[in-house]
Each structure stands twice: as structure tokens, then as C-alpha cells.
């Protein structure tokens, strides 16, 4: 029971730490851009729900930490709510008073409002670059040559004509740099034909394979549905590990962030065209579960010999490294999610501002109201799907 309690507490602590950190950086992007253009922030909230504690700064902004650490928001002067909807009565009063009109978000030129909104996702991408760069300097990066070492019998790869020794060149037209590129590409493409180019005996060959859906170990104690191709590494696979200097690490951070972004955007594009399964979508419960699994795996010491002392320093180092990696991945995902053209998200606001820039006036209140309701319905639908996926995974985890 003590181990279970400790495991649960570590899971909660890991989730709260990671999600709060990433959300705070996102909202700081909005806040700092707003301050740069002279917009007054009335509230900066970390989390939703009841206030745990709060304080006012010298500029009159209320900083609060709320009881539900599942997000956050900045409410600027003139906003009606956390979604930055207009408050018509307040805006009319401020317009008439004139004294504070220069501090009102909705009175700023459309290009300034667009920058303030865009600053949140940009902050997430910058955070991811910094975190991946730090990991590149401290932990380094491992690359494995994309050469096929094994082809499993009765697998999609065997049916497609893959052979041991093939050097993978491209995946669906994209250059394959490492063996990891193959596993990541196949992961969410069960049932979808994929095109590959391989080099065999000095010649290039085109192959087509359709990964099979298969429940597999996810490396965190559970099983998930992945695309299965049926290829593996050889025992003498060429593995290169290197650490980066500060300049190289920055480039590594940019490349890593870009690669993850491309993977997520590709998956979302296939979702909306019904070429990908919704079973890979996870919500807060899934993120919390993953954070807990990563944290508990990091602090365990499976390699310790019987009777050997527990190395607390090494465990804490593994924990910090694992959470930094998770924060980087989550930061990219949150940045991209907020750029979706859904009215309640940053991307929806940018769509409205683009319309305003062309039409010289914002969309009518009725259009914005319909968009808000449609956006909320879509987000709610995705949350239902994500929660179902999260619960299904938990059932399998404890069954």
C-alpha cells in the first residue's frame, strides 16, 4: 500500500509539474506580448476553478493559482472571459472614458492583437527548442542507421518484399535519416498503404506495405494499438551517440521540434481526412497517466544488483531528464493544438483577425457566437473521445 501511495503521489506531482510549466510558458507568451503593446492584463491564472492563493503586482494584475491545474489563461482589459471574448458593456465604458482605452486589447490594431495571440504558441515552440537543446547537451542524441536487420515471417514487411540488409532511403517520399523515423511513421498508420524506397545491392527499389494494427507493449507497463510492419534491427546495427556543444544543441533543438511538429501535423491531417484512427488521441487523464509512468520508471532502479544501495542522485537525474523530455513533447503538442482554426483556441482568433484585416471590420457578434458554440462542441467531442481512449488504456493497464 505504501508503494502504491508513493507511486500515485509521484504520478500526480509529475503531471502537475509538467502541465503547469508548459501552460505557464504559453500564457506568459500572451502576457509579455500584451505588455509590449501596452495592453493591461487583469488576471493571469494558472489553472481553473477555485483560487488557492493570489496576489496583485505593481501594475494591478491579479496573479492566481487555481485548484484545477489543467490549463490557464490571461484575461486582458475588455475581455469578457478566459477565451478573450469581447465584453461590450465594458468596452463601451472604456471607450467613453478614454483614459484607459490605450490599455484595451480589443482597441489595438488587428496586427498587434494577432501577434499577442500568436505569442502563446510561439512561446511553446521556443520552450521546446530550449528543452531539446538542453537534453542534447546533457544527455546527447542516439541515431541508428535505417538499415533493416530482420524481417519477421508472415509480416506486412515480408509480404511487401523487404529483405535483411535493405537500407531505407525514403518513407512516403520523405527522407529516412534514422531507424526511429520508420517506427514513428508506422506507429499511427495501421491499415494504410505506405511507400518505401530502399537501397539493395547498390540499386534503389520501390516497395509498398500496409502496416497491420497490433496491440503491443508501449514500454511503460501497458499496451497500445500500433501499426506493425515486422522489421527489426540487426545485432550489429550501427548506433551513434553524440553530445552537442551549445551552438549545435540549438540546431538540434530546432530540428527535433520541427520533426515532432511535422509528425503531429501529419497525424491531424490524416484525422480530418479519415485516414487515421482516433484511438491515438489522449486527454488530460492520458497525459497524467503517461507522466506518472515515466516518473515512476525513472526513479526505479531495475539495473541494481541484489543488495546494492539505491542511487538517489542517479534516480533524480533520470526523473528530471524524463520530465524535461515530456515537457518538450507536450509543449510542441499544445502549441500546435492552439493553432487549430477553432474559435475557442488561438487559431480561431487568428482566423477572425484575418477576416477583419480583409473586410475592415470584425465578424458580427452572431457569427462569433455561433463559432464559439461550434468550437466548444468540437472540443467537447474530442475530449469525450480522448477520455474514452484514456479510460480504455487504464482498464488494460490494471486488468
Cite the active site residues. Answer: 27
Distance CA 163, CA 340 (A): 41
H-helix segments, 142-231:
156-160, 179-187
Distance from the Cα of residue 269 to its chain's centroid: 15
Tell me if 216 sits within 8 A of 158, measured CB to CB: no
What secondary structure, in 3-state letters, does 81-130 show?
Answer: CCCCCECHHHHHHHHHHCCCHHHCHHHCCHHHHHHHHHHHHHHHHHHHHH
Classify 277 as helix, strand or coil. coil
Q: Which residue has the cell 507522466?
A: 291
| Nine-digit cell string for 41 | 492584463
Closest to 43 measured CA to CA, from 26, 23, 57: 57
Tell me if 77 sits within 8 A of 42, measured CB to CB: yes
Which residues are 14's β-sheet partners?
A: none
Distance CA 103, CA 88 (A): 16
Say if strands 212-217 and 62-76 run parallel, antiparallel, or are unpaired.
unpaired
Q: What is the DSSP secondary structure assignment for residue 279, as one 8-state letter?
A: G
Classify 63 as helix, strand or coil. strand
Classify 213 as helix, strand or coil. strand
Signed CA dihedral, 378, 384, 385, 389: sign only: positive
Helix axes 2-36, 312-337, angle to 10 degrees: 50
Amino acid at each position: 500500500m505504501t508503494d502504491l501511495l508513493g507511486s500515485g503521489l509521484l504520478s500526480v506531482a509529475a503531471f502537475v509539474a509538467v502541465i503547469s510549466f508548459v501552460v505557464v510558458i504559453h500564457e506568459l507568451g500572451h502576457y509579455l506580448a500584451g505588455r509590449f503593446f501596452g495592453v493591461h492584463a487583469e488576471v493571469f491564472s494558472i489553472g481553473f476553478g477555485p483560487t488557492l492563493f493570489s496576489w496583485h503586482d505593481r501594475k494591478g494584475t491579479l496573479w492566481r493559482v487555481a485548484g484545477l491545474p489543467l490549463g490557464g489563461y490571461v484575461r486582458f482589459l475588455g475581455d469578457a472571459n478566459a477565451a478573450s471574448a469581447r465584453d461590450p458593456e465594458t468596452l463601451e465604458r472604456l471607450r467613453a472614458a478614454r483614459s484607459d482605452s490605450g490599455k484595451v486589447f480589443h482597441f489595438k490594431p488587428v496586427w498587434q492583437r494577432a501577434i499577442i495571440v500568436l505569442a502563446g504558441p510561439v512561446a511553446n515552440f521556443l520552450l521546446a527548442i530550449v528543452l531539446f537543446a538542453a537534453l542534447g547537451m546533457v544527455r546527447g542524441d542516439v541515431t541508428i542507421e535505417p538499415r533493416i536487420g530482420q524481417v519477421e515471417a508472415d509480416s506486412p514487411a515480408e509480404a511487401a518484399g523487404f529483405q535483411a540488409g535493405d537500407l531505407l532511403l525514403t518513407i512516403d517520399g520523405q527522407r529516412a535519416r534514422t531507424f526511429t523515423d520508420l517506427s514513428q511513421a508506422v506507429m499511427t498508420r495501421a491499415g494504410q498503404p505506405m511507400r518505401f524506397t530502399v537501397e539493395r545491392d547498390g540499386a534503389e527499389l520501390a516497395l509498398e506495405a500496409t502496416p497491420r494494427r497490433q496491440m503491443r507493449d508501449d514500454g511503460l507497463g501497458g499496451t497500445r494499438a500500433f501499426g506493425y510492419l515486422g522489421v527489426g534491427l540487426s545485432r550489429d546495427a550501427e548506433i551513434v551517440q553524440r553530445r552537442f556543444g551549445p551552438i549545435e544543441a540549438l540546431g538540434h533543438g530546432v530540428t527535433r521540434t520541427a520533426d515532432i511538429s511535422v509528425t503531429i501535423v501529419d497525424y491531424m491531417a490524416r484525422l480530418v481526412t479519415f485516414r487515421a484512427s482516433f484511438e491515438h488521441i489522449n486527454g488530460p487523464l492520458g497525459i497524467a497517466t503517461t507522466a506518472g509512468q515515466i516518473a515512476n520508471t525513472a526513479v526505479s532502479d531495475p539495473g541494481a544488483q541484489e543488495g546494492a544501495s539505491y542511487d538517489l542522485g542517479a534516480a533524480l537525474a533520470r526523473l528530471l531528464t524524463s520530465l524535461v523530455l515530456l515537457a518538450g513533447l507536450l509543449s510542441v503538442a499544445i502549441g500546435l493544438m492552439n493553432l487549430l482554426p477553432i474559435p475557442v483556441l488561438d487559431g480561431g482568433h487568428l482566423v477572425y483577425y484575418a477576416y477583419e484585416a480583409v473586410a475592415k471590420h470584425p465578424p458580427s457578434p452572431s457569427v462569433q457566437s455561433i463559432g464559439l458554440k461550434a468550437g466548444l462542441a468540437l472540443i467537447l467531442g474530442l475530449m469525450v473521445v480522448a477520455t474514452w481512449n484514456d479510460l480504455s488504456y487504464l482498464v488494460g493497464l490494471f486488468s
